Every structure is written in C-alpha cells, then in structure tokens.
Structure 1
Amino acid sequence: MVRSSSLLAVLATASLASATAPSCGLTNKCPSDTPCCSQYGQCGVGAYCLGGCDPRSSFSLDSCTPEPVCKSQTYTFENLDRIAPNTKYLGDASQADWVSSGQPVSYQNNVLLTMAPDSVGTLLASTTYMWYGNVQATFKTSRGQGVVTAFILLSDVKDEIDYEFVGVDLEDAQSNYYFQGIPDYTHSKNISLSDTFNNYHTYEIDWTPDTITWKVDGQVGRTQKRSDTWNATSNQWMYPQTPSRVQLSLWPAGLASNGEGTVDWAGGLVDWNSQDIKNNGYYYATFQSVTISCYNATSAPGTNTGVSYTYNGNTGTNDTVVDGTDKTVLSSFLATGTNMTLGAQSSSGTSSGSTPSTTAETVPGLTGGDPGVDSHASSSADSGSGSTATQSAGSSASSSSSSGGFSQGGSSTGSKSGADKLGVGQDKLKGSVFAGIVALMAMMAL
C-alpha cells in the first residue's frame, strides 16, 4: 500500500526479482514458507502477518501476529510523529498510532490523505483494534468523479462497517456493513448532509454486540440490529463481530483497470486534469481527529483487558476471539506469528536469520493487490443466493493483483509514486505541507 518515495520502488524491484506472492483465500491457504495471508489476498512474511492478516486463510491460525487490544484515545494530527509507514512498523502500538500507506501530509493541524496522478491514494490504519465500541472521525472528504473517501472499521476476517463518500455526490454519506467480506449488495443506505468537501462533519460508528448506529454530527442516520441479520442458509448471524482496525483512506475507484461496477458506483473515471490536480498536484481529504472509545465489556465478547486478540477457531466469529497476553511485535520483516524473533539482532550485532529487509514480499501492497473487499465489483451477488458464508467469503478473500479490483498498493507496472507529484501547487498548500513531506521522506530513508 505504499507509494511514498522512489526508495520503495527500488525495494519492490530489487526484491526476489520477478517473484509474485502466492494468492490465498479460505479454499487455498498459504504455504508454510510464506504463511501469512494479507488483507490483499496474498501470502508472505513480515508485514503480511501484521494488520489485515487473515488467520483463516493463513497456513495456521497462529501464523498471523496477535492484534494489539483496544485503547480509548482521541487522536489529532498536528504532525506525523505517530504515523509509521508500513515499511517501518513491526507491531509495536506503543510507538505508533497509525500505519500509513501512500502519502499522508501534515497541513494546519490536520492530516491530508493525498492522491496524485499515477498513484492509488493514501490509507491510514489504526495500530490497535476495536472489539465493539464507539469511533468518531471529524474530516472533510475529497471530491471529483471516481474519487472515494472512506472511514471504515475492518477486521482481519473482513467484518466491515463503512462510511464511504463518492466525490460526485457531496450531499450523501454512504453507510454499509459486511460479514466476513461476503458481498451482499442490499446493505448500503445513504445519509443526507451538507457539502462534505467544504464542511467538516463528525461521523460516528457506535458498535455493540447487538446494534450498529451510524451518526453524523450527533444525529442518528441509521441503525442496524444484529437480530435482523440472521441467514438461514448459512445458519449464522451475518453481523460484524470481530476486532477491527479503524481505516481512513482516499482511493481512485474510477480507474479504467477496475471493475465496471466499481467505476460506475464511483461516478466514472478519475479526472487527472481536474482543478484540484492543477492547483495542488493531487486530490486530498482532510482529517482533523479520530476518537476511539473501547467497549469495555466485563466478559467476552468486547473485552480489552489483555495485550492482544487472537483466534482459536476457523469460523472467525466472536466466540473464537481470545483476549490474551500474546506479544504483538515482530523482530524483523522476516518474522511471522510462529517465529516472531526471526531476523532479530543479537548483542553481537548479528542476525538470527537472513538479513532483515523490507521488500515486496514482506510488505503487502508493494506488488499491488486488492484492498480486501471490493464491495462494488459486481451487481449480481447476494447473500441469499444459496451459497454458504464460507464459500462466498472464500471467493472474496482470494482476490489478487490480477483481479481488477482497486489496488491500494504500489503498482507493479512502473507507475509514479504520489510523492513524485507533491511539489505541484506549492502556492496553495504552503509551509507545513512541505515540512510534512520532508519529515516523512526522512523517516522512509532511515
């Protein structure tokens, strides 16, 4: 998911020559040598085993690194100090609040998620996980056809609760939810509001074991009860119920390489010669703050008394989630959940394995790939079609860079990075923008 500098392109090119990460899903689990199935449906080690790693599709349930438990906190964005690039983050949530992919920029006490021509936008994912609770985000969306701003909760088994904003419609917030990535296209509902590009709004998701409530500026826009999600075919509640990261993103749904359904939903192809591109060199969404309030149940589900969340069963439901004491930090990008110290530096300065490095095979997204759930790729699927939840989720989770889905990752076709364009329009976004770029580039070069 990183397009931040030419350094990443070099790393991706240099890694394992033309090797391509194996794809993975519920019906084709990862092999033992690359045991972790990333959010993008590809197998690897290192960061593949961190946030987004699906234990059900990995070599074993413990291939993925344990997930840091929920932490109640308000996050503001005066600088980028607590945002770690996904080429640096190894699972220590005490050192970073967000993991970035793409080019976040600090501007007037906000963070801009940017999307330049030939890039695929920017994503921030929280380092901790919510197992129910309340999350609020105050921001302005981007605008333009094919341009999508998103504020979502997404679990490693692809439970999902969404706010999505299509840039051609600045008067509606689209709310949605999915159970384990199963594509049911009847769940989306719009919430009307005023100009989302020029006005800050506070978007809120209140999520309990029984109800999801979407609010805008404190007003209830929609409520979804778990009791209304029973699926008799799969014999289960089709309701988001597993620990989830908060994800903030700006991405080009309107790419010609995307599925027709995705492009149509996004209002058409992205205009890379729009006024925002001419003025600033990129599209942008402006995020002011995020507040996470953990659910704080006294007994499961919804606790956060331990160190990390893991899974002890392949169903990926809340009764298989363990709030325990397993560590969350990898020693290097060669490590996995079953060998978390591989590549660690000894006191003598030598490594316990091969030299740790950040390559396209250790950071998901550097070789492209699906962002996880492309919920607009088709209009024909329906959870009531007779297929089981497991079969449907398997087809969703097994997508790869060849799927035609939106790639929230570095292009494998030589596209320019977002950072290549960020000097354009400097008279419009002065001072702190370029300080942010310099700071981020310095971080990436360490």
Structure 2
Amino acid sequence: MRSQIPSLAATALTFSYLVVGQTTTDCNPLNSTCPSDTALGKTVTIDFTQGENSEFSADTGTTITYGTNGAEFIISSNGLAKTISTNSYIFFGKVSVALRAANGTGIVSSFVMESDDLDEIDWEWLGGYTTTVETNYFGKDNTTSYDRATSPTVSDPQDTFHIYTIDWTPASITWSIDSVLVRTLYYADALDGANYPQTPMRIKLGNWVGGAADESTGTVEWAGGYSDLTEAPFTMYVKNITIEDYTTNGTSYSYGDMTGSYESIIIENNSTSTNTSYSVGESVGTNSTSNASSTASSSNSSSSSVSVTSGGSSQPASFLLGLVGLGCAYLVL
C-alpha cells in the first residue's frame, strides 16, 4: 500500500530509495569474479537476551550491549552508527525479528537483507514517527525511480516489541507485522524481475543517524529532520531473530555469471555436485517456519523445488548445483 507517513516524511518519501541505495560491496559479482558466500543452509533462532551470538559479527566501531530486552543498539552523543551482520547468507528464506525501534528525530532503526550485487529488502523505522514503519526493496542498486517504499501503520513501535517478518521466494516478497500481511511484491511487478531481489543475502541489524549535520539534505528530509544528539541515548532493541534459509542443501553460494539472476547461482555442498532443474509451481522449503518469539534452533530438510509463479503467471526456474571454491564475500553498509 502507499505511504501514510505525515507532513515532511510524506513529501520526502521520494528520497528514501536514494538514501538506502547508497550501499557498497567489497566485490560486486556483476563486475568481477568474487569469492563464494558461506550458506546458512538451515533455520536458526537467536535469543539476544542471552548475549552475543556467533551467527553475527559487529561492524568496526560497533559495541552492542545485552540485557533483558536483548541486543541494545545505542546511539550516544557521538552519533556513531551501530550495526551487526550475519556471517552467512540465505538464498531465499524467511526472517522474523522481535524489535523495538529507537526514538529521536532523524534516528533510523533498520532490519536489512542485502546481497553482494546490492539486491536489498528493508524494514526501517524513523524515530520522529511513532505510528509507521517503512518497507522498501532494491534490485542491483537501481535508483532510476524513487517510488518503491510503503509505510504501513504499526502501534507504538518505539515502546512495544513487534514481530517484523520478511518472507522471500523467487515468486514474491511479503512483509508482515505480528503475522499480519502488510505488503506483497511479486517478481513480475519489479520491472518484470529486473528489479527483483533474487541473489544470496545476509541480514543486517542497525541504528544510525539519518539526521546528522553532515548528511545530505535529501537524507535528512527523508529521516524526518536533523537529530539533536544532546537528547541521546537513542536505543533500538532486538530481543530475538529467526532466520530460515530455504536452500538447505548447500554450504556456500557463488555467482555462475554476471547476470545477477537467481538461476545463475551455484550451490556448493559437501558431496558430489549435480545439475538440478527445479519444477515450476512447487514451493521453496519443506518445513514450517518458526516465529521470532521461539527460542529453539533447528535445521530444515532439503528443498527440492522452487515456486516462480508470479502475479498469476509462471516463470521458468532452474538452479545450478556445482562445485566451486570456498571463500567469503564482505559487504559494507
């Protein structure tokens, strides 16, 4: 649905794609041969009330504290952003986060899924607005239009934990709040797939100052205005997160060519590799998924097929399973 955020944020919505799209990658597989990415290949649930977890690493300069509300992403008067990222990638999957957004004009809480070639799926909370959250997506860092964000309503996101979910398949992406669907994007609706996020992603959780004095005018307007750091601290809380990788038969992912198509992704496993063609109309994954309030960790059984029915029509789908060298790729937000 269309944005309902009021006043300045409503007029500045066109800047949001420009702002979030300014991400970088250490190696873009659309331009060169890059190391492979470690695959998660299972489902994990992380309870941050128990402290830090080895599935995530903190960005340089990031210190996270942990308490009864989970991981605390605290922006102090120095204004430094706080970000952690998963060490492994998922190739289609479902991620649910129990999160409380930070308050403060210009403060941006974020839950981002991002790939090496800059496909991206987002939830973002603007601290100056207490009734909405922004959803957005990007394909290959394409910034040719600025009208892809929506802002569904959410009750008291800065003082109440809600479960925010992204369910990502070759056919569609859905965003849900407390199991209530708030947005669906179909493959065909994203420039016939050209703008559709479809390459292996890792998950980033962070809190940053969009209203900083040295940010661009567009960024500040989108974030809701300049931030007053004398009012710090501004804290985002993440109690727990469940991450399900719908591809359960691999140990790493790499790009078979420079198209950025999901059909080109090579899945390496520990056994001999074979080429597999996935059937149209069957679903990704075989297990029921966990809610982010769960505290159990488990592994999925292997998926045998991929659904690419998009907006009422089917798209061809095939994945290559090939042996590739081990390695890892790193992204810088």
Q: What TM-score do the two structures reach when normalised by structure 2?
A: 0.71
Contact 1:131 1:294 in 2 (8 A): yes
Find the aligned partners of 2:257 and 2:72 in 1 and give their Cα distance. Answer: 39
**Residues 1:67 and 2:18 are matched in the alignment:** no
The 1:104–1:162 alpha-carbon spacing in structure 2 relative to 1, beyond 3 Å, is same
**Residues 1:146 and 2:103 are matched in the alignment:** no
The 1:70–1:251 alpha-carbon spacing in structure 2 relative to 1, beyond 3 Å, is farther
**Residues 1:197 and 2:197 are matched in the alignment:** no
Give the structure with the higher percent strand.
2
Could you tell which deviates more after superposition, 136-145 or 112-121?
112-121
Larger of the two Rg values belongs to structure? 1
Contact 2:65 2:71 in 1 (8 A): yes
Match of 2:206 among 249, 255, 258: 249
| Structure 1 residue 339: Cα displacement | 10
Find the aligned partners of 2:142 and 2:96 in 1 and give their Cα distance. Answer: 25
| Structure 1 residue 254: Cα displacement | 0.9
Corresponding letter in the other structure for 1:170:
T
Match of 1:99 among 45, 54, 57: 57
Find the aligned partners of 2:325 and 2:167 in 1 and give their Cα distance. Answer: 34
Match of 1:309 among 253, 258, 264: 253
The 1:129–1:66 alpha-carbon spacing in structure 2 relative to 1, beyond 3 Å, is closer
Match of residue 283 from structure 1: 234
Corresponding letter in the other structure for 1:284:
T
CA RMSD of aligned residues (A): 2.2
| Structure 1 residue 318: Cα displacement | 0.8
Match of residue 124 from structure 1: 84
Match of residue 181 from structure 1: 141
Match of residue 168 from structure 1: 128
| Structure 1 residue 56: Cα displacement | 2.9
Find the aligned partners of 1:215 and 1:110 in 2 and give their Cα distance. Answer: 21
| Structure 1 residue 80: Cα displacement | 3.5
| Structure 1 residue 160: Cα displacement | 0.8
**Residues 1:55 and 2:29 are matched in the alignment:** yes
Corresponding letter in the other structure for 2:245:
C
SS at the partner of 1:263?
Answer: helix
Find the aligned partners of 1:55 and 1:364 in 2 and give their Cα distance. Answer: 12
The 1:200–1:267 alpha-carbon spacing in structure 2 relative to 1, beyond 3 Å, is same
Long gaps (5+) in structure 1: 1-38, 42-47, 83-95, 296-302, 327-336, 341-362, 366-370, 372-446
| Structure 1 residue 109: Cα displacement | 5.2
Long gaps (5+) in structure 2: 1-22, 271-323
| Structure 1 residue 283: Cα displacement | 1.5
* Identity across the alignment (%): 27
The 1:213–1:203 alpha-carbon spacing in structure 2 relative to 1, beyond 3 Å, is same
Contact 2:114 2:121 in 1 (8 A): yes
| Structure 1 residue 338: Cα displacement | 8.4
Contact 1:79 1:111 in 2 (8 A): no
SS at the partner of 1:193?
Answer: coil
Find the aligned partners of 1:339 and 1:191 in 2 and give their Cα distance. Answer: 41
Match of 1:268 among 194, 217, 225: 225
Match of residue 17 from structure 2: none
Contact 1:204 1:214 in 2 (8 A): yes
| Structure 1 residue 81: Cα displacement | 4.0
Contact 1:139 1:202 in 2 (8 A): yes
SS at the partner of 1:145?
Answer: coil
Find the aligned partners of 2:42 and 2:79 in 1 and give their Cα distance. Answer: 32
Could you tell which deviates more after superposition, 258-267 or 112-121?
112-121
The 1:192–1:289 alpha-carbon spacing in structure 2 relative to 1, beyond 3 Å, is same
**Residues 1:40 and 2:1 are matched in the alignment:** no
Find the aligned partners of 2:331 and 2:174 in 1 and give their Cα distance. Answer: 32
Describe the superposition over 1:288-333 as per-residue Cα deviations: whole angstroms up to 9, x where unpaired: 01011222xxxxxxx331210011211222122111148xxxxxxx
| Structure 1 residue 140: Cα displacement | 0.4
Find the aligned partners of 1:320 and 1:288 in 2 and give their Cα distance. Answer: 36
Describe the superposition over 1:96-122 as per-residue Cα deviations: whole angstroms up to 9, x where unpaired: 200112121111151101112224211
Q: What TM-score do the two structures reach when normalised by structure 1?
A: 0.53
